């Protein structure tokens, strides 16, 4: 099978794609190429999402979207790879949630401040 892309001419081919008028920039062309690559290769799509999450570049929800998985399925993938799952909520929201739980259990608010 003949390759469409010649790695020695990659920069020239990318420039030609943009100059042909279908993309407004090199970044747009590369972005579309990555979308097509990930759509055609689900394992690579999952691996990419896991790596972006591991590096802290995306939230858990965004990683699930990139992977094309439900949130629980992504959590399973993270667990298989021993990638810790971080809380996506800001600490103020976590503190407010803890206060609400305390209030519901005791009937009074605590001094969590």
DSSP state of 89: S
**In a domain? residue 97:** no
| Total of domains in the chain | 1
The answer to whether the pTM exceeds 0.75 is no
pLDDT digits (tens, 9 = 90+) for 9-57: 889 999 999 999 989 999 999 999 999 999 999 999 999 999 999 999 9
Distances (CA, A) of 104 to 54, 97, 112: 35, 11, 15
**In a domain? residue 31:** yes
| Domain range enclosing 35 | 7-85
C-alpha–C-alpha distance, residues 66 and 39, integer Å: 10
Say how far residue 44 (Cα) sits from the centre of its chain.
12
For helices 26-40 and 42-54, angle between their N-to-C axes, nearest 10 degrees: 120
**In a domain? residue 29:** yes
């Amino acid at each position: 099978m003949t390759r469409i892309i010649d790695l020695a001419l990659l920069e020239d081919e990318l420039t030609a794609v943009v100059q042909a008028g279908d993309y407004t920039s090199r970044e747009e062309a590369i972005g579309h190429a990555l979308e097509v690559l990930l759509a055609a290769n689900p394992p690579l799509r999952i691996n990419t999402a896991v790596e972006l999450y591991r590096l802290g570049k995306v939230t858990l929800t965004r990683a699930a979207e990139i992977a094309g998985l439900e949130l629980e399925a992504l959590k399973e993938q993270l667990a298989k790879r021993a990638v810790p799952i971080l809380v996506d909520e800001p600490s103020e929201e976590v503190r407010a949630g803890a206060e609400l739980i305390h209030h519901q259990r005791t009937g009074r608010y605590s001094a969590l401040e």
